[in-house]
Structure 1
Amino acid sequence: MQNEIKVHEDEELSLKLFIVLSRALESVRKQVVKDIKSYNLNLTEFAVLEFLYHKGEQPIQLIGKKVLLASSSITYVVDKLEEKGYLERIACPKDRRVIYGKLTERGHQVIKEIFPQHRKAIANIFSSLTKEEKEHAIVLLKKIGLFADSI
C-alpha cells in the first residue's frame, strides 16, 4: 500500500512537471517569436538564416533536418528567403540531385545585424536565472530529452 502511494505521488509530480515545462516553453516561445517577427521574419526563416550564418552553405535537405522542418516545408521557406534576396540556391557540381542553400550578401548582412540583438533578447528571457541555475537546467533538460528519446 505504501508503495502504491509513492508511485501515485511520483506520477502526480511528473504530470505537474510536464504542465509547468509545457507552459514555460510556450511562454518562452511567444517571446522568441515576438522578437523574430520584429525583424520581418518568421521562426523558420530565422532558423535557416541563423544556421547558414554559423555553418556556411549547406545542402537544403540537411538545413531542413537541422532546423526540424519537413522536406516540403524547407522548400517553401527557401523559396520565401530567396524572394527576399537573403538566400540563393546553388547546384552541386558533383551531384545534380543536391542543391545547396547559401546566404546572399544581403542575407549575410541581415543576420549579422540582427543575431546579436536576438541573442540579447534570449538572454533577457532567461535573466531571472543565475548562471548556475541555467547550467543546472541545461543538464536536467538534456537528461529528460535523452531519456524520452530512448523509450
Structure 2
Amino acid sequence: MAENVSLKSFVITMKASRALEEVTKKDIKKHGMRTSDFAILEVLYHKGRQTIRDISESVLISTGSITYVIDKLEKKELLARVNCSDDRRVVYLEITDKGKEIMDDIFPKHQQVIEELFQGISEKDKQTVIDVLKTVGHRAAEKE
C-alpha cells in the first residue's frame, strides 16, 4: 500500500503544532501569565489600538471568553478600554504603559524561545513552511 503523503503531512503538522503550543505555553507560564493574557497583550503590543472584535479574530478566543480576559487585564492595569469618538458602539483596547513595560521584558525572551525552535532551519525552508501552511490554511478556511 502506497504511503499517503497528504495524510502524513497533516499528522506531522498537527503533532508539530501541539508540540510548539506546549513549549510556548510553558514559556508564557514561566513569566507568570496565561496564554490568553499574553496573546491579547501581544496583539496590542505589536499592532497598537484594536477593537475587541479584531483581537478576538487575531487570537482565536471567542468573544464571550475574551471579555473575561480583558476585564482581568484591565483590573491589572495592563490594558485600557477607549471609547470611539465616531461610533459609541465601538470600544478600542490599548496596552497601558505598565502593560508595555511587562511586554518589553517578556516578549524578547519569548521570541528567543521561538528562535531556538527554528534554529538550524534555513530562511528558505522557513519561508517554504510559511507558504505551504498559508495555502493549506486558506483551503481549510474555504471548507468551513
TM-score, normalising length: structure 2: 0.89
- 2: CA distance, partners of 1:52 / 1:58: 7
Give the letter aligned to residue 91 of structure 2.
I
CA contact (8 A) 1:87 1:101 kept: yes
Deviations 1:48-91 (A, max 9, x none): 11111112122222211222221111101101211222011122
Determine the structure 1 residue equivalent to 2:52.
60
Determine the structure 1 residue equivalent to 2:14.
22
Give % identity: 38
- 1: CA distance, partners of 2:137 / 2:56: 21
Which consecutive residues of structure 2, in runs of 5 or more, have no partner in the other structure?
Answer: none
> Do residues 116 (structure 1) and 108 (structure 2) align?
yes
Which consecutive residues of structure 1, in runs of 5 or more, have no partner in the other structure?
Answer: none
Within a 5 Å distance, the mapping from 1:35-46 to structure 2 comes to 35-46=27-38
TM-superposed deviation, 1:148: 2.2
RMSD (Å) for aligned C-alpha atoms:
1.7
TM-score, normalising length: structure 1: 0.85
Deviations 1:16-39 (A, max 9, x none): 222111111111110011111111
Rg larger in 1 or in 2?
1
TM-superposed deviation, 1:128: 4.1
